[in-house]
Amino acid sequence: MNKSRFNHNRANLNKSKVSFMFIDALSIAFTYSFSILVLYFLRVEYIDVKHTLMVLPFVIVFKLVLFYIFKIYHLVLDNVGLDEVVRISLVVTLSNFIIILITLFVNNFDFIYEPYFIFTTLLEVLTILIPRIIRRLIAMFTSRNAFNTGNRTLIIGAGAGGKIALNEIRNNPQMFNRIIGFVDDEETKIGNLMSGYPIFGPLSEIPKIIDKFDIEEVIMAIVNIEPQKFQDIINTFIDRPVRIRRLPSLKDYKVNQVDSITDVNVEDLLSREVVELDTAGIKDFIEGKRIIVTGAGGSIGSELVRQIVTYKPKSLLLVDIYENGIYDLLMELNIDFNKHIENKIDITLQIASVYNYQRMEKIVSEYLPDYIFHAAAYKHVPLMEGSPAEAVRTNVLGTYNMCKLADLYKVKKFVLVSSDKAVRPTNIMGATKRFAEMIIQSFSQKSNTSYSAVRFGNVLGSNGSVVPLFKRQIANGGPVTVTDPSIIRYFMTIPEAVGLILQSAVYADGGEIFILDMGEPVKIIDLAEKMIFLSGFKPYVDIQIKITGLRPGEKLFEELLVDKEHHLKTDNKLIYIEKLNGKKDVENEAGELIGGFEGLDNLEIKELVQKFVPTYTIDNKK
């Protein structure tokens, strides 16, 4: 939130407080004026109307001050409930009790006959509460639920989370939902009402409830539910064409988040066992260091930057050739600028290409980093099949340049971001990433710098990945395109991938290729079907799935380990190390490739790469 917006919101808040102080003053004046009139007409001998009216302004000021001290004017008015009613009632009662004590023990301070304070207190609580609940009542009676409009919605969880979801629907004008009821597993709740809505159950009956009441939207509102339990529940009705949303877990809430209800993403249904990282070890590794991230504007590079800044490096230099991506990242970091100032992190950026040796030497020689995280690469398989020269230029030459500079300027550690497509590659992108791995292993044998690579599968939601493509295709009404019904892929989230990169940097001694145990692979056609269901549609009915055939260089499945019998475990049970036998100095091969690919046609470039990467099978003879 920028400063002007913050000041504007603060001014509105102060204006609201003053308004309610004025309303409360009128309410108190009305309460006691009414009580005085009642006592007067009842001919109560203890009442002195003139004296009481003279004292009343002082009573009003005293009560307003007491209300402010007890933060009555800090209460949120959009959702006045029992807690707010009790708080206001207690403060009003306390103020009147103090007035009674003053009346009893201070001479000439007769205000109102003491027994009538019971009546006065009840009336005062009522008059002060009414303005605060009017907004809630108006919202309740004008909501879509009151007129039976909006998407027919079922809330899973009749506890605190369910109440949060209900309040969000009632108070957020952007929510277009008609609540049908809640569903819960707790037997004591089933069959009862919550805020006027029925509680169904158990959870195993959700598919039947959806069918019976023609549910159009389901909101998962069980607070801090375990990922596996969440997936188990969703999978019971994933084949129903209902939109599925959820309350985020506490760790997923974002600063300044407006809406508490978010869409369920396919990531929520593909998550595996959480990769536990040695955050203390990573912090010791990163804190106070000078770090360069190449490809900092990309999916992996930008997440690397986000996570690195949390470990308080001394400085961070962002390098990328694509100005828009790195500009967006810098703007994002500026939003959180105060935190970076507090941590005294110096964040700078340079627009540069890693294959330009002179440019990168100037950057590295001036910055003198402790670590380099090399994420700059071309990764899109079909595009690189048609532009192999660019794959060699960036993935091979760029990596060679950065490795050479890391050695020349005595960088402590160098980490290459690699890919599962480097294993027995059938495309030029994978082959160039395999050559990049060979380069870092070659440099590790002759340099004091520790070189390592991190190899992982497809990253959910990254630029060019299948998930954003499917989302666009679904939004456009289909069809969703799948290359082959049997194609499978390993998946991981971007934060998980970056956590692995940072952890591997801690473990690295030199020459390692780190691999994550990514669990079971996912069939892409199953992924497409789940994404269609999550959007509230039926696959093959509302949204078609079209089989397009394998693209050039594309495999039915990807591998993570070249030889599973020769991998080593690390302290992290999901991270392994592959050590290849027969590591060699590829300086000559790199020089021949880098010096010989310019001017060749596509097939000649692929054949030249194949000469140095014998595991590479050329699938596209073009």
Instruction: Read off the pLDDT of residues 255-278 as tens digits, 9 standing for 90 and up.
Output: 444 456 777 777 667 655 556 777
* pLDDT for 440 beyond 90: yes
Strand-pair category, 197-200 with 193-194 = antiparallel
Res 149: pLDDT: 67
Question: d(Cα 429, Cα 417) in Å, to the nearest integer?
Answer: 13
Res 6: pLDDT: 43
Res 257: pLDDT: 45
Q: Give how far the C-alpha of residue 324 lies from the chain's centroid of Cα atoms, to the nearest Å.
A: 22
Strand-pair category, 243-246 with 217-220 = parallel
Identify the residue with better confidence: 140 or 235: 235
* pLDDT for 242 beyond 80: yes
Beta bridge partners of 154: 181, 218
Res 545: pLDDT: 92
Question: d(Cα 161, Cα 246) in Å, to the nearest integer?
Answer: 10
Which amino acid, one-letter code, is at 479? P
Tens of pLDDT, residue by residue over 584-598, are 678 888 888 888 888
Res 253: pLDDT: 46
Give the best-scoring range by mean pLDDT among 104-108, 114-118, 125-129, 260-264: 125-129
Res 562: pLDDT: 40
Res 325: pLDDT: 85
Identify the band that residue 531 occupies on the pLDDT scale cut at 50, 70 and 90: confident
Identify the residue with better confidence: 92 or 572: 92
Q: Name the CA dihedral angle for 297, 320, 411, 332, rounded to a multiple of 10 degrees.
A: -30
Res 146: pLDDT: 52
* pLDDT for 609 beyond 90: yes
Q: Does residue 421 have an active-site annotation?
A: yes
Of the residues 63, 404, 421, 555, only one is catalytic, namely 421
Question: d(Cα 387, Cα 611) in Å, to the nearest integer?
Answer: 18
* pLDDT for 602 beyond 50: yes
* pLDDT for 182 beyond 80: yes
* pLDDT for 16 beyond 50: yes
For residue 479, whether the previous peptide bond is cis, meaning omega lies within 30 degrees of 0, is: yes
Strand-pair category, 413-417 with 450-455 = parallel
Res 396: pLDDT: 95
Question: d(Cα 292, Cα 319) in Å, to the nearest integer?
Answer: 7
State the average pLDDT over residues 552-565.
61
Strand-pair category, 545-547 with 371-374 = unpaired
Give the 3-state secondary structure percentages of the chain, helix then strand then coil, rounded to 5.
50, 15, 35
Identify the residue with better confidence: 156 or 79: 156
Identify the residue with better confidence: 261 or 337: 261
Question: d(Cα 200, Cα 330) in Å, to the nearest integer?
Answer: 48
Three-state secondary structure call for residue 563: coil
Three-state helix/strand/coil letters over 249-297: CHHHCCCCCCCCCEECCHHHHHCCCCCCCCHHHHHHHHCCCEEEEECCC
**What's the chain's average pLDDT?**
81
Question: d(Cα 461, Cα 531) in Å, to the nearest integer?
Answer: 13
Q: What is the separation, in whole angstroms, between the first and last Cα of the chain?
A: 52
Q: Give how far the C-alpha of residue 100 lies from the chain's centroid of Cα atoms, to the nearest Å.
A: 54
Res 273: pLDDT: 57
* pLDDT for 136 beyond 90: no
Q: Give how far the C-alpha of residue 397 lies from the chain's centroid of Cα atoms, to the nearest Å.
A: 35
Give the percent of the chain with pLDDT over 90.
27
Question: d(Cα 200, Cα 192) in Å, to the nearest integer?
Answer: 8
Three-state helix/strand/coil letters over 519-544: CCCEEHHHHHHHHHHHECCCECCCEC
Q: Name the CA dihedral angle for 491, 496, 498, 504, rounded to a multiple of 10 degrees.
A: -100
* pLDDT for 187 beyond 80: yes
140 contacts 146 by C-beta, under 8 angstroms? yes
Tokens of 56: 């009343």
Identify the residue with better confidence: 522 or 414: 414
Which amino acid, one-letter code, is at 197? Y
Res 258: pLDDT: 42
Res 462: pLDDT: 62
Tokens of 448: 């004091």
Select from 243, 265, 233, 270 the least CA-distant residue to 252: 265
Select from 527, 507, 375, 366 the least CA-distant residue to 436: 375
Tens of pLDDT, residue by residue over 314-326, are 999 999 998 888 8
Tens of pLDDT, residue by residue over 458-494, are 777 666 678 888 888 998 998 999 988 888 877 777 8
Which amino acid, one-letter code, is at 88? I
Tokens of 197: 């809505």
Between the alpha carbon of residue 124 and those of residues 24, 30, 120, 167, 385, the distances in Å are: 9, 9, 6, 28, 78
Please compute, for residue 489, the number of CA atoms within 13 A of its CA located in the half-sphere on the CB side.
25
Question: d(Cα 290, Cα 397) in Å, to the nearest integer?
Answer: 24
State the average pLDDT over residues 386-390.
93
Give the percent of the chain with pLDDT over 70.
80
Q: Which of 285-294, 510-519, 590-599 has the lowest mean pLDDT?
A: 510-519
* pLDDT for 450 beyond 90: yes
State the average pLDDT over residues 332-341.
63
Alpha helices (H) in 447-508, listed in sequence order: 466-475, 494-507
* pLDDT for 138 beyond 60: yes
Res 584: pLDDT: 65
State the average pLDDT over residues 488-511.
83
Res 166: pLDDT: 86
State the average pLDDT over residues 104-114.
64
* pLDDT for 207 beyond 80: yes
Res 529: pLDDT: 87
Identify the residue with better confidence: 37 or 233: 233
Three-state secondary structure call for residue 589: helix
* pLDDT for 29 beyond 90: no
Q: Give how far the C-alpha of residue 463 lies from the chain's centroid of Cα atoms, to the nearest Å.
A: 17
For residue 202, whether the previous peptide bond is cis, meaning omega lies within 30 degrees of 0, is: yes
Q: What φ, ψ does residue 220 adopt, rounded to 5°?
A: -80, 115
Three-state secondary structure call for residue 207: helix
Q: Which domains does the chain have, with CATH numbers?
A: 3-141 (no CATH), 144-264 (3.40.50.720), 279-612 (3.40.50.720)
Beta bridge partners of 194: 197
Tens of pLDDT, residue by residue over 155-170, are 999 888 888 888 888 7
